[in-house]
Amino acid sequence: MEHLSKENETQHDRISRALSQVVSDGSSFKNGDPDARQKLIASARELLYESESPVESLLWNIWALPTRTIAARIAVDLKIFKTACGNNSSPKTNEQLAAATSASPTLVKRVARTCASMKMLDEQGPGLYVPNALTRLLAQPEYAAGIIFCFDATHNSFSQMPAYLRSTGFQNPKDPTNGPFQYANKHDGHAFTWLTAHPETFQAFHGYVHTLRTHRPSWTDMYPVKERLVAGLKLEGDSSALVDVGGGVGQVLQDFNNAIPEYTGRLVLQELGEVIGAATAMDVGKSNRIELQVHDFFTPQPIKGARAYFMRSVLHDWPDEQCRKILGNVKDAMEPGYSSILISDCVLADKNAAWQHISLDFHMMALASSQERTEAEWYALIESCDGLKIAGIYSKGQGNESLIEVVCK
């Protein structure tokens, strides 16, 4: 009945309803509701959607969004955001913005005005620009890294994905070494091997992932760490270890060490050799608090009976078949009743999933023939691994990662 009633509404009715929701959420925000800001963003987007005509929505999607993506990537190379913030954010002409790279002022004008139309820059007058809050964010290398990585690693895959799917008869990609990424980039190996061969993109990836995490709830904000990890911790040998499996260059363990000083057991970072090399160059293991260990998670887990094996954004990189191998290697090393696997990953809603999760799902299909998973898909995956079960799923806020606790049956 609700569907039918909405079908019979006029656009005026739909706009009025959406506007009322914006007013309600705005009032809650002004009254100090901590959750109201996110609700206001959602209702404002709904108001925009209802206010646009279908043709306006079409043009926004096929014209504006691709333009915004490419303009942002070129603007990073042209140092437009950084230059705009220079000299105390004084207004800059196209010529002044172009001077940083000796670029054509005409080209800079075309890129800068596109960024301004997408609110990445403010246009104070004809050909005169000043930074806004987003400009200042993008002027920082760790945030510009997000644009570099997402564009350089996925743009070919996205552009060639329709052709790839047509070539497979529209089958869901499941082979991480023969999917959209390999089709588009003429690359025989996994996207990760391509990434390590492209140092700028590789560095941007690690900087972007670390920076993004600082704006989202930590897994230690969701999971009862003191009750589940600190209490009952055995301090001898491998039993004391918290192992970050496939943990990048160690930011998660560094944050954990700062947040949970009560955890006095070993902290072990496991990664492939080239990533451990990057972590070493960043002095991650210099204090000896974090141990660096070269390990491929498709091989047997060398640390036996650890307190916990942590995986952040690891399993979403792989289809189910490979995930079962990764989990199986860890399960064989676990001590039943003591060890756990802690999976920090997205858990998609079955209906009206968060745009962050949906967007990331497409990125993972483009990069690794993998996916984000719903709660039912997580249970199906874990239960397909002999001897493992989910003990609980912990979440905080829409669009963030959750913490999935897995134990031995």
Alpha-carbon gap, residue 194 to 187, rounded angstroms = 8
Q: Output b/e per residue, 151-177; b: 16+ Cβ within 10 A.
A: bbbbbbbbebbeebbeeeeeeebeebe
92's enclosing H/E stretch is: strand 92-93
Q: Output the six-digit token pair for 161.
A: 């994905």
Alpha-carbon gap, residue 289 to 55, rounded angstroms = 58
Please identify which residue in the block is written with the tokens 């009032």. Answer: 27
Alpha helices for 60-124 (secondary structure H):
65-77, 80-84, 86-89, 94-99, 105-117
Determine which one of 190, 210, 295, 316 is catalytic.
316
Q: How far is CA 360 from the centre of its chain?
A: 7
Alpha-carbon gap, residue 43 to 169, rounded angstroms = 38
**10 Å Cβ neighbour count for 35?**
12
Active site residue 316: yes
**10 Å Cβ neighbour count for 99?**
15
298-302 long-range contacts, Cβ below 8 Å, gap at least 24? 298/322, 298/325, 298/326, 298/329, 299/329, 300/329, 300/332, 300/333, 301/243, 301/245, 301/329, 301/330, 301/332, 301/333, 302/333
Q: How wide is the angle at C-alpha 127 spanned by C-alphas 121 and 129, nearest 5°?
A: 30
Alpha-carbon gap, residue 395 to 401, rounded angstroms = 7
391's enclosing H/E stretch is: strand 388-394
For the annotated catalytic residues, the residue numbers are: 316
